[in-house]
Chains A and B, each alone.
Chain A
Amino acid sequence: MELIYTLRVLIKSILFVILWSKCEGRESEFNYVTCGSLVKLLNTRHNVRLHSHDVKYGSGSGQQSVTGVESADDANSYWRIRGKPDGTCQRGVPIQCGQAVRITHMTTGRNLHTHHFSSPLSNNQEVSAFGENGEGDDLDVWRVQCDGSIWEREEAVRFKHVGTDAFLSVTGEQYGNPIQGQKEVHGMGIANQNNYWKAMEGVFILPSQEPLRHNHEEL
């Protein structure tokens, strides 16, 4: 069964590549989340956007906190989708389902991160923002889980942590001051309606043409 599944994914990917290379005018019908894109991620069950800020957890690891917010116009809800440190993610290439990515907070440069600490409100697994200038450690990697072969913007996907196998989730617990009204984001082992996220606002980078050309006139 696994072989057939792999074959189907392979054929779909080849078909996608063939069809993609024929596309010229792309306009705003571009439907995929690509490597290097900036997005806001909406938890579809609780209607909050993944968010971080320069506020540290008062318990657990004491690292920078990650929450869910209701507002749609906060720049602190932007995250950049990047590849693993091995450099295999090319700018503008759509993210495959099952691909391992890092999710870097735009304004603070820290990566979405989880580890074996308890979350403050629900005692699930604490999710923090970790690292400096986009560089953290091995626990910054998440696998994008989706139904098709590519992460589509219209589709809600799950993020499964590589290392602890936890799903990025929200179950509705709310913080008090100083982050009044924001909801707790944590890791949970079970896949359910609470771990679906959808790409909303953002800057989606399209694949570029190769700049290679033989330009001898100027020499």
Chain B
Amino acid sequence: MMVVLELFLLSEACLEARSLAVAMGDTVVEPAPLKPTSEPTPGPSGNNGGSLLSVITEGVGELSVIDPEVAQKACQEVLEKVKLLHGGVAISSRGTPLELVNGDGVDSEIRCLDDPPSQIREEEDEMGATVASGTAKGARRRRQNNSAKQSWLLRLFESKLFDISMAISYLYNSKEPGVQAYIGNRLFCFRNEDVDFYLPQLLNMYIHMDEDVGDAIKPYIVHRCRQSINFSLQCALLLGAYSSDMHISTQRHSRGTKLRKLILSDELKPAHRKRELPSLSPAPDTGLSPSKRTHQRSKSDATASISLSSNLKRTASNPKVENEDEPVRLAPEREFIKSLMAIGKRLATLPTKEQKTQRLISELSLLNHKLPARVWLPTAAFDHHVVRVPHTQAVVLNSKDKAPYLIYVEVLECENFDTTNVPARIPENRIRSTRSVENLPECGITHEQRAGSFSTVPNYDNDDEAWSVDDIGELQVELPEVHTNSCDNISQFSVDSITSQESKEPVFIAAGDIRRRLSEQLAHTPTAFKRDPEDPSAVALKEPWQEKVRRIREGSPYGHLPNWRLLSVIVKCGDDLRQELLAFQVLKQLQSIWEQERVPLWIKPYKILVISADSGMIEPVVNAVSIHQVKKQSQLSLLDYFLQEHGSYTTEAFLSAQRNFVQSCAGYCLVCYLLQVKDRHNGNILLDAEGHIIHIDFGFILSSSPRNLGFETSAFKLTTEFVDVMGGLDGDMFNYYKMLMLQGLIAARKHMDKVVQIVEIMQQGSQLPCFHGSSTIRNLKERFHMSMTEEQLQLLVEQMVDGSMRSITTKLYDGFQYLTNGIM
């Protein structure tokens, strides 16, 4: 991420050509090389062109490293080429390919360096070098004609405004290999996260567009793959998924397939990456402590002549011992994903939800045996290792013929996935055994407490110590002395009965109090959903996330570790998530546009991992249940449910929930309109704990709609129920809603290109139903109504809202869904 970018300009005696070398720097910055760049700056700089020459450093502190040897070799190759060109036509193309030929006018902006070799840093990728030699000639040929135009282009490219979105757009639209190559290099200087967003676009271009684009992109991809295992995985998966629409014969030899193979073959494993010695590893005390403990334990337990460790060595080969030279670095993760998918496939064959749930739980418990392992959840935002799947928490989601399911995954956060050791396994009951009945100090309420002040009792207040695993003594397994000890264990029962007989003061309680406490405590959790075997996910999703985390943490043998985190993921098998990914990107783009334009619209893009053309994972929206579930469980109208959950009309909580509802509703209405999201029944609309609605399932967008029945002709779904929550048609909130929509549309229109571009590039080579027909992009652009005035737009919004309100088809579609799928 932190990249040192250096642009070197090589100039020759004849000014005919200048080559701009973009050298990428996952460089070890040594103090020395800085000098030449800063020293000769004096001349014409001072203008912005300086940025081209000077060192652009982002986050100097942390530098990823390329093998110096490789780099040096690459440099030498490049130098040779330079020399060659020196002698010849005097075009020098250094390693990185872009040659910009500037008219004399721009001359001043270009720094001439007389001594190119001294400038060369060790940063070159051999990839870059080869690409360079390939494009150099072509670029030169064209350069004369376009020099003027390109000089302006160069200015643009150098300007601060040039962002990743523009880069992608030029990469896609430009037919100039030179430009493409330049942008290919320029990619290196964007922030990794920014580029990551466009990864599907980059890879789709790589697969489906011509060679020049591919050549421009490849070095960057390869470079990033070397850096990050997660990036490698994403690339490999996306390459596979986006290649799948090609004809099978061409697919096999396509570039995408080749690059995929390269990534999977592990050749891109960073050469420098030597697994650090365990002693040096940064966080050994958290991850490894359990193993230490186990060891101690067995040692202390081993009485006299028995040494357990030697015994176990002979039994099953201990899978927890990590292989130092594991075969392929992506292998464990792919295996992990594969087994999750296999579970999904097997679940799909079972007829009832109940059977599915049971099977899921048992399958996951088997999976648990193989964890912890060097695997991670690609949807997470931080480096971690998966240590456990709390299998009993997993639920099967509602789907008619497929079996998507939601799992929770316990992970241990780590600084660096590659270098941190995989945490040691802690047996399931390790934590629990400490809290077993006999070890607990009597944690229930003693009778004094009971008799005295007895407000609502929190779960466990002061018995934290009893729950911690630190007490090794407690952990020790009962040795046979137990038999001798247990006699000391005088019958509690009899002792107590005796004391009670001669007891001091008898304690009295009122029966009414007991009854009252019972109803009070039950009243505390009124909003929990009831368990329904036909809809097992409702209960699981309704439980507040924080509460769930706490609960699972308590029950987990890893829960005591400070870097323990809980993640969740929906595994979808048999569904194509490429459209979902596209929708995610559009939503994300709209979100940032609205943020930039300060329109308070609220949407919640959720992360998508495309695994193949028919499988993937989704990051679930936490604290949200579908409106269908809300209505079925509560048997209330949406407004009444809001009142129940958040309080009466005038309360702060209700008002803020209502505002959230309006803001999210407006946001999603625009999304639904722009993307033509269909299949909007209440099972596909979630409601979160703060009142936001969240649309999910973007299976039907743009040019596709379910079974093309022609239902849902309205612009978006707006039922009277929704309007009721907003306070009715005449309310302020409803006007606010319309106003938000207008502002949102204006803002989106302003940045239409950014949105359209995402869709347009993905259309390349795609067979996805959302691109069906030839007018997808044109229609999409038309929905932004570029030609309208703001007044006209306002009218349009009014019309759309009116139309949707009155839309008979929405109601019809809901009725249809109720009849066919039982969705309320």
Do A and B actually bind? no
| A binding-site residues for B, Cβ under 8 Å | none
| B binding-site residues for A, Cβ under 8 Å | none
